Chains A and B, each alone.
Chain A
Amino acid sequence: MTSTSELSLEALEDVAKRIRRDIVTMIAAANSGHPGGSLSAVEIFVVLYFRIARHDPNKPDWPDRDRVILSKGHATPIIYATLAEAGYFPIDELLTFRQLGTRLQGHITTGTPHGVENTAGSLAQGLPYSIGQALAARMDGRDYRVYCVLGDGELNEGSIWEAAMSASHYRLDNLTAIVDRNHIQNDGFGDETLIPQNQRDEHTGAWVRADGHTANIMSLEPLADKWRAFGWHVEEVDGHDLVALIDALEQAKSVKGQPTVIIAHTTKGKGVSFMENNPVFHARAPSPEQLEQALREIG
């Protein structure tokens, strides 16, 4: 199968729902893992693996496959759940996540299981890797495309902007980066945009955590302008809108002479009320009761 086999929009929505269920279930089973940044990227992964990317679960080494690079390598539940759903390995194996001896390591490692392209977990190494893959496609005269999924927090790292510079320098129009713009990183909100009113410091506007610590981690705005200044074509979409994502990714294919970045506006923890926009669930497993509630809400 190449995933260009057109699933209906409804079918894609069902896949997204199943992937969300798998994500919370596997994290609860491991009692460890990163739900927030996995749930925010579900639609991005569904669209990539079930509509846009050329790939074949039976031929993970196919030289002409499109490459999906997960730069924020802690978000393993989203890539493992998607690969399982796409047929790369049995869905039951998700329950071995993070256990001693598992193929489903806490952070991604190349080729284990099949379908995982890169090794990560230390942030901001996926975009440079993607550039290498895009350059190799050009050297070999192959027409595969490279899709790199980035966290917004990881854009704090210098290596991202070094890579951003080289991608436009080399006019890599076979490269599309997708920023999961959920506004939350490890310790809290990156900037002020999405901080709930009752969690703001009245003078500075900064986020005040439940324990009283006040901090915004790092502001990124104006983000689209930054990418433009680095020579990229920029698209901004609702990152939970399947149609908008498909349109933007199709659009990127026709942009010539420069790389495209899609800033996908998302909600961290999307689909589970107590995880949504809640920094605590960056890296926390739901309790058994919370899992039940999460599965109920996802439906």
Chain B
Amino acid sequence: MASVSEKIAATREAFGPTLIRLVQQGLDIAVVDADLGVSTTAAAFGKEFPGRFFSVGVAEQNMIGVAAGLAGAGKTVFASSFAVFVPYRCYDQIRISLAYPKANVKLVASHGGLVTGEDGFSAQALEDLTMMCSLPNFSVIFPADVVESARAIEMAAHTPGPFYIRTFRPKIPVIYSDDFRFELGKAHQLRDGRDATIIAVGEMVYIALQAAEKLAAEGVQCRVLNMSSLKPLDERAITAAANETGAIVTAEDHQIRIGLGSMVAQVTAGSHPVPMEFVGVHDRFGESGKWEELLEHFGLTSNAIADAVRKAISRK
């Protein structure tokens, strides 16, 4: 289950098809879209169930309000756009109309992170996870592959309350087999080792696995945790990793100062401080380029993770 397969897919591809299955299984779902349904794959749902699909145009603030209203009338609502527009353009609406009243609205935000690519900084969400983790009542998930993405969407549909799920644009190797079960609030261990732990989210999980393989060839054995459930966060798994491996490296396509790395550090600081290193974006905006080049340019690579692991271990 932990080995990277030949199949490649983007996590965003799970969205429309999963919702179609859920309606076929009897869920009373409504989908609201803000003129990005082709890219988010919400349009695939709209084609299948036009009566459950509402286009509000390029109007993210209105989309959140409409979604809240539908949820208030008993629907399980999915609203989607790119991660730079939801939550950024409509954060106030999300806070007031979704978070506080615990509205049954699931925000599925595609095109997260640097890997959005050529559109450049304005399209590369690097702060969305913090924004969403900051809001009480929200659950926040950043799946590592298309299978986990589908399972997380299913789980959210069956769990009352507001969710934020970030997906990404490029196709990357699929990690999980179809029988994978997603558990909210649980880190998923993909590999074990005694020397250090790599904690990663999103597409950085598969890159972390590559790093762990490189390190294993040098005799350095790493535990690898997929921390897709950012909120609730699996504090026990983090503390156990600190305890049992003595060094932690986090990896995320997001600002490190306010993202996964800082959340993990907050946990270890309170339970079991160990040397940590942080792989991610260091207080900069993104820029245009091909997604692979951007990961290289910003130092979000398996080599960068491996270096960070060596450094953390040297500080033990």
Give the residues in chain B near A119, CB-CB below 8 Å: 122
Contact B121 A156 (CB under 8 A): no
- Given A122-B122, A158-B59, A186-B35; 8 other pairs, CB 8 A cutoff: A100-B289, A122-B89, A153-B35, A187-B36, A209-B43, A211-B43, A214-B47, A215-B43
Stretch at the interface among A44-52, A102-110, A131-139: A102-110
Contact A98 B118 (CB under 8 A): yes
Contact of B35 among A107, A122, A211, A218 (CB under 8 A): A218
User: Which of B228-253 touch A at CB < 8 Å?
Assistant: none
A184 to chain B, nearest CB (A): 11
Give the residues in chain B near A124, CB-CB below 8 Å: 58
Contact A121 B119 (CB under 8 A): yes
Q: How far is the CA of A244 from the CA of B135 in the complex (A)?
A: 52
State whether the Cβ of A74 lies closer than 8 Å to any Cβ in chain B: yes
Contact A218 B57 (CB under 8 A): yes
Number of interface residues of B (CB under 8 A): 37
B6 to chain A, nearest CB (A): 25
State whether the Cβ of B123 lies closer than 8 Å to any Cβ in chain A: yes
**Can you give 11 contacting A-B residue pairs, CB < 8 Å?**
A74-B119, A100-B290, A104-B288, A105-B121, A107-B122, A187-B43, A212-B47, A214-B47, A216-B55, A218-B55, A218-B58
Contact B58 A153 (CB under 8 A): yes
User: Which of B35-67 touch A at CB < 8 Å?
Assistant: 35-39, 43-44, 46-47, 50, 53, 55-59, 61-62
Contact B294 A156 (CB under 8 A): no
User: Which of A207-263 touch B at CB < 8 Å?
Assistant: 209, 211-218
A141 to chain B, nearest CB (A): 34
Contact B57 A217 (CB under 8 A): yes
Q: How far is the CA of A214 from the CA of B47 in the complex (A)?
A: 6
Contact A186 B36 (CB under 8 A): yes
Give the residues in chain A near B58, CB-CB below 8 Å: 123-124, 153-154, 156-157, 185-186, 217-218
Contact A156 B57 (CB under 8 A): yes
State whether the Cβ of B278 lies closer than 8 Å to any Cβ in chain A: no
A1 to chain B, nearest CB (A): 30
Q: How far is the CA of A209 from the CA of B46 in the complex (A)?
A: 12
A22 to chain B, nearest CB (A): 18
Q: How far is the CA of A113 from the CA of B122 in the complex (A)?
A: 16
Q: In chain B, what residue has the closest Cβ to A34? A: B119
- B interface residues, Cβ below 8 angstroms from A: 33, 35-39, 43-44, 46-47, 50, 53, 55-59, 61-62, 84-85, 88-89, 117-123, 287-290, 293-294, 297
- A interface residues, Cβ below 8 angstroms from B: 30, 32-33, 73-74, 98-102, 104-107, 109, 119-124, 153-154, 156-158, 185-187, 190, 209, 211-218
Give the residues in chain A near B59, CB-CB below 8 Å: 156-158, 218
6 cross-chain pairs, A with B, having the tightest CB-CB distances, nearest first: A218-B57, A121-B122, A100-B289, A156-B57, A106-B120, A213-B47
Q: Which of A120, A186, A213 has the most CB of B within 10 A?
A: A213
Q: How far is the CA of A101 from the CA of B85 in the complex (A)?
A: 25
Contact A213 B121 (CB under 8 A): no
* Known contacts A122-B88, A156-B57, A214-B50: A102-B288 contact under CB 8 Å: yes
